[in-house]
Amino acid sequence: MTKADLLIVDDSTTNLSLLSGILGENGYVVRTVESGYDALEVVFSKNKPDLIMMDVVLPDMSGYDVCEQIKADEATQHIPVVFISALDETADILRAFEAGGVDYVTKPVNRLEVVARIENQLTLLAQRRELEEHYRRELDRYEYVNQMRERFVHSATHDLKNPLHLISGYASLLLEVDGAEYDEVGHKYVNLILEGANKMKMLVADMLDLAQMSTGSYINPSRVALNGFIESCISNFSIMARQKSITLDFVRSPDAPAVFIDTARFERVMDNLISNAIKYTPNGGEVEISTAAAQGFVVIAVRDTGSGIPEDDIPHVFEAFYRVRKREHRDIDGTGLGLSIAKAIVEMHNGQLELESEQGVGSEFRIILPGWIQNQPKKKR
């Protein structure tokens, strides 16, 4: 925590300068006011203090009343109030706690004691904030997990059930036809069955992959020449690109960088990014994969001239099951899992997966991996 911002409320200017002196010396930011009214004005302003030290006897109202007003408002009730007073009767001290004070210091104040008490309250405050922050994060996480669970159920029911119905439907139709009719429609039914089965296969494979990632699996990295590895990943897509008349280019880094990666897992990342680029780019477009090396890291970029991703969807496409809700996206087969799997794998390698995209212009996905290992030519002895 940066040094705390304190408000001292006391109508005795001697006391004010004594206290602000002590606390200022200890590095606190100190503000001072001399009346209850002025104190409330500061407390209910935008720039609230972290802690208040307040005299019990003020010229316009009692410190207890001021404290009660602070404690009655949700926006200010968390601010600790430490009372300072010459009154040292038990009843006065009890009254201070009743009003919502957290501590009580009697005048004349002892420097060391004041600082120790303030420190103590600020530690408590910091701990409480930390707990609240922790609680908020847990709540966010809970909401996230719950949302995932809902999407998972939704996906399992719709995306798995639909092709399953297709498969069993066409299989029963197939059973009923024979002879000449079989020749006529049989082939078509078998194709539809196959299509349904393939959709299910893809979804089940992705769901299993994702489940494996989220249960924290390990990677098995080895040293690989980056350009050669990327080239082999790209070669799997030459047919798919040709079918859509898409040019598939590779711009290789001249530095011949090497990386330390789990090749089986990383192939999955490249497959996802390259297949997306081809899938979401209309016929005749371009997909360019490039590698670059800079001191300490490597960048692999997959750029396309495709449909692009609307700005509002960009923060979400890495979430599991998320697909852009647009016709030109929905008409293409997909599970919405590829990018979440890719991101998990890249992060397992301590890397980052970035996205830049403009609707109607195209997208660029960039993988940034730390630790470029230079492929030094072997020295001859």
Ligand X SMILES: Nc1ncnc2c1ncn2[C@@H]1O[C@H](COP(=O)(O)OP(=O)(O)O)[C@@H](O)[C@H]1O
Q: Is 336 in the site for ligand X (CB under 6 A)?
A: yes
Structure tokens that stand for 224 in this block: 């690989």
Subset of residues 83 to 142 that bind ligand X, contact rule: CB under 6 A: none
Q: How far is the CB of 71 from Mg ion (least distance, A)?
A: 54
Does position 259 interact with ligand X (CB under 6 A)? The reply is: no
Please identify, using beta-carbon distances, which residue of 36 and 336 lies nearer to Mg ion: 336
Q: How far apart are CA 47 and CA 50, in angstroms?
A: 10
276 interacts with Mg ion by CB under 5 A: yes
Stretch that binds ligand X, among 98-106, 156-164, 169-177, 300-308 (CB under 6 A): 300-308
> How many CB atoms sit inside 10 A of residue 222's CB?
9
Look up residue 1 and give its two tokens.
Answer: 């925590």
- Up-side HSE of residue 62: CA atoms within 13 Å toward CB? 10
Which residues make beta-bridge pairs with 259?
224
Nearest-CA neighbor of 226 among 273, 272, 289? Answer: 289
Is 309 a binder of ligand X (CB under 6 A)? yes
Scan for tokens 């039914």, then name that residue: 189
Distance from chain centroid for Cα 253 = 31
Cα angle at 235 between 234 and 239, to 5 degrees? 110
Q: Which two tokens stand for residue 309?
A: 């991703």
Residue number with CB closer to ligand X (253 or 335) = 335
How many Å apart are CA 122 and CA 126, to the nearest integer? 6
- Among Mg ion, ligand X, none, partner that 307 touches (CB below 5 to 8 angstroms by kind): ligand X
Among 117, 323, 349, 366, which residue sits at the site for ligand X (rule: CB under 6 A)? 323
Residue 317 touches ligand X, criterion: CB under 6 A: yes
Shortest distance, position 50 Cβ to ligand X, whole Å: 44
Q: Are 107 and 98 in contact (CB under 8 A)?
A: no
Minimum CB distance to Mg ion smaller for 85 or for 272: 272
Q: Does 329 bind ligand X (CB under 6 A)?
A: yes
3-state secondary structure of 42: helix
Given ligand X, Mg ion, none, residue 317, with its beta carbon under 5 to 8 Å by kind, binds ligand X
Q: Which does 309 bind (CB under 5 to 8 A by kind): Mg ion, ligand X, none?
A: ligand X
Distance, CA of 377 to CA of 381 (rounded, Å)? 12
Task: Give the residue, chosen from 49, 196, 306, 351, that forms a contact with ligand X under the rule CB under 6 A.
Answer: 306
Q: Does 32 bind ligand X (CB under 6 A)?
A: no
CA distance 215 to 197: 27
**Closest residue by beta carbon to ligand X:** 334
Binding mask 266-285 for ligand X (x = CB under 6 A): ------x---xx--x-----
End-to-end CA distance of the chain: give it in Å, rounded.
58
Q: What is the closest distance, in whole angstroms, from the C-beta atom of residue 267 to ligand X in the complex?
A: 15
Q: What are phi and psi of 362, to 5 degrees?
A: 145, 180
Q: Of residues 36, 338, 351, 362, which one binds Mg ion by CB under 5 A?
A: 338
Pick 293 or 346: Cβ nearer Mg ion? 346
Tokens of 176: 């009923």
Residue 80 or 334: which CB sits closer to ligand X?
334
Judged by beta carbon distances under 5 to 8 A according to partner kind, the member of ligand X, Mg ion, none in contact with residue 121 is none
Nearer to ligand X, 89 or 331 (CB): 331
Encoded tokens for 314: 């960009």
Locate tokens 């922050």: which residue?
Answer: 133
Residues interacting with ligand X, by CB under 6 A?
272, 276-277, 280, 304, 306-309, 317, 322-324, 329, 334-340, 363
Residues interacting with Mg ion, by CB under 5 A?
272, 276, 338
